[in-house]
Amino acid sequence: MNQTTLPSITVTDSIVGRARRSPALRHLRIAADPPERIRRAVGPDGVCVLTFDRPGSTANVFDRPTLLELDTHLAFLEEHAGLKGLILTSAKPAIFIAGADLHALGEFPAAPGALPPGLPELIELGQRVFNRLAALPVPKIAAIHGACLGGGYELALACDLRLASDDKATKIGLPETQLGILPAWGGSTRLPRLIGLPKALEVILAGKVLPAKAAWKRCLVDDLAPREKLVELARERLFAGTARPHRKSHWFINNPLAAQLIAARARSQLWLRTRGHYPAVLKALDVAANGLGRPLCESLAEEREAVLELAGTESTRNLMRLFLLQERAKKLVGSGHAATGVVSQREAARPVTRAAVIGAGVMGAGIAQWLTSHGVQVVLCDINADAVGRGLAKVAELYLAGLKRHWFTALEVRQGLDRVFPAVGEPPLTNVDFVIEAAVERMDLKLAIFRSLAARVGPETILATNTSALSVSELADATPCPERVLGLHFFNPVHRMQLIEVARGERTHPEAVARAVRFVQQIGKLPVVVRDRPGFIVNRILVPYLIEAGHLFEQGARIVDIDEAMLDFGMPMGPLRLIDEIGVDVAHHVANTLVGHFSPRLTMPPVLEHMLKAGQLGRKNDHGFYLHHGKRPVPHGELRMFQTGNEAARLDRAALRERLVLPMVNEAARCLAEGVAESAADIDFAMVMGAGFAPFRGGPLRYADSVGVEEIVARMKRLAELAGERFAPCEWLERVAGEGGRIYAEADLKRSDRKGAAP
């Protein structure tokens, strides 16, 4: 019998089968083999297909057992005399291999520089197995459908050819630098040799994830095919002798001298962009460039050393935690109480197919476009035809911009626009699942809208407001169904910001919150559940920061010094530039609302009112703290007329930074003490994802722990003596400092994990 036709039966399989058939052996306790993660099939033509199919999961990931199982299959294939080729594929509907299983590493140890148990061994094992695959003396093809990321793409790089489906689900990339590490299973070594150092650096340093067509254009994959023809095409390539294609030589740019020149230029650009806060990109640059002048084994050794060095840094720990919080948000179940009298279990379980958006302005149009791009039919309503027309034009503009950037195909644009149904006035909405109100931030207007909506929707429709600062509970009390009223606070621009604050009012039913969380996940956003308190989490913490920036400017600090101080801290833009981007009028309105709740510790900086009176609204009319006429905004010198003192002119950037950061830490601590969120992790997650708080610092509360709560409180007290009581630490923070504790207590971490656990 030919070896390729032998049945795949192990000794254990045989014993288990006999035990099940034989009454005499049924009393034996026989341990069955663990479920296989990779299926092996060797056909009569000598081609082996390894199919990754992690049991009980929608995703394939690499952990130690999967790597060992792959190693076992490779050992079998090394001894297979009739083997003609190998094809790697996946049985998952939207995942090839999503990378390493970070959950398997567990929590990083508290000690600085300490590594998760088993990380060094995991890195070494992955390199050894992928080297074994690369050395297999037959053509090897990765037939990729779905997400092929990190270690999944490094597996593909160890093959001779990479074929990808042209499906929208297929994404290719090496996102490790976004996690504070680098590709260390051969990606930093093999990709530059495959496509040349400059193109490889564009992918590795940015942590880019590309759709299939873009990946093909950059030569990350060799060909595209429909999903159903991938394995067939791979077989054709094997027998046509094109599984090991002749590749273009990259010697001119990959020789050691050219590589170092390219690296030097890239290093200076990276330093300007990251200000040294993200060591992973600089380390990845060095490894990729240095590896071109070394044997493969030496370059892989440098990968190992680099990733282990990075894994011990605080910035990597925080970026890893942020990733795990993002994954947690995708599985968050909200409140799991039974749906008594609010929505039926059947209604709660089904996806949202129809929604209405009330208000066709910038936010309403952005929400409508996002929902329709995710398959939801949307009734877009406003008070008159002109307003609806402008909203439809904005939706179309967003779709066309996405088409230009290859986010959508022309067919998807047409389908998305076909899901928008314009409506003027107050149409009946009995057949919609969700109504999202996105009108102007005026309580009287919103109250009138909600009173009207309550009479026009079905008995199970959820009524949501997109307010960023007004009371959800007050709106709910204006309706006969307060248990179905909540907040869904989208951030602007909707198509770029991942976070949505799900605000539960005082009378919102838990099942309504759970249903809203599922809806947020359905449309590809990340939910954080918050209590109905002024500003929720993000604006509550962000407004004191923006207000303090206004006060510093009035007291003589230069625009460029205020903003550069926070860029040095790691924020994506400075606070005054952020006010311009938000709009001076919008920032003033939200700040004024919170000042009304939290005066006297919050006071409105008069500069914002002066700018409003002068018609200086920020980017929307090119005049704000900056002039936005050219390619780069420049500070608006004429605003000096609004400065009323020079106390802050003497402050250096470090002092400015402290006056801007500490109010955020203080307000975040107040939010935690008041129960605005259920955990410190929720608050930090919201601030990073919703306000751009420096990700590598982990959020304002994680930052406070890294500095030390006692030190943070001492700095606040010194500032309160120098600059006013607004800097005085809150009572809860003082208590934690007095006890010598940390904000992230062990109980808080356990509670956070429990709340985010999948059912």
Active site residues: 489
Q: Which amino acid is it at 560?
A: V
- 3-class state of residue 140 by DSSP: strand
Q: Would you state the structure tokens that stand for residue 627, as one six-digit string?
A: 């002039």
Q: How many helices, marked H, and strands, marked E, lie in the chain?
A: 31, 20
Cα 579 → chain centroid: 24
Rounded to the nearest 5 percent, the helix, strand and coil shares of the chain are 55, 10, 35
- 3-class state of residue 336 by DSSP: coil
The CA distances from residue 180 to 263, 279, 643, 746, in Å, are 19, 7, 41, 24
* Unique residue bearing structure tokens 């948000």: 329
- Of 664, 740, 656, 736, give the one whose Cα is nearest residue 698: 664
Check residue 62 and report its DSSP letter: B
Whether residue 493 is preceded by a cis peptide bond, meaning omega within 30 degrees of 0, is: yes
- 3-class state of residue 267 by DSSP: helix
Classify each residue of 366-386 as buried b or exposed e, where b means 16 or more C-beta atoms within 10 Å of its C-beta. bbbbbbbbeebbbbbbbeeee
Phi then psi for 141, rounded to 5 degrees? Answer: -130, 130
User: By the 8 A CB rule, do 152 and 173 touch?
Assistant: no
Beta bridge pairs of residue 144:
164
Classify each residue of 438-453 as buried b or exposed e, where b means 16 or more C-beta atoms within 10 Å of its C-beta. bbebeeeebbebbeeb
Cα 33 → chain centroid: 37
CA–CA dist 216, 613 (Å, integer): 53
CA–CA dist 681, 686 (Å, integer): 8
> What are the residues whose beta carbons fall under 8 Å from the beta carbon of 256, sequence distance 6 or more?
292, 293
User: By the 8 A CB rule, do 233 and 165 touch?
Assistant: no
CA angle, 539 then 570 then 623, to 5°? 60
> What are the residues whose beta carbons fall under 8 Å from the beta carbon of 421, sequence distance 6 or more?
377, 378, 379, 380
Cα 86 → chain centroid: 35
Exposure of 238 in the CB half-sphere (CA atoms within 13 A): 24
> What are the residues whose beta carbons fall under 8 Å from the beta carbon of 369, sequence distance 6 or more?
394, 395, 398, 399, 416, 494, 495
User: By the 8 A CB rule, do 652 and 659 touch?
Assistant: no
Q: Which amino acid is it at 222?
A: D
- Which is it for the CA torsion 244, 246, 248, 254, positive or negative? positive
Contacts 24+ apart (CB under 8 A), 508-511: 508/472, 508/476, 508/482, 508/483, 508/484, 508/532, 509/337, 509/339, 509/342, 509/483, 509/484, 510/334, 510/335, 510/336, 510/337, 511/335, 511/337, 511/338, 511/339, 511/342, 511/343, 511/348
Whether residue 480 is preceded by a cis peptide bond, meaning omega within 30 degrees of 0, is: no
Q: Which amino acid is it at 304?
A: R
> What are the residues whose beta carbons fall under 8 Å from the beta carbon of 378, sequence distance 6 or more?
354, 355, 356, 357, 368, 371, 372, 419, 420, 421
What residue spans of 332-483 are helical by DSSP H?
345-349, 362-373, 385-404, 410-418, 443-454, 472-477
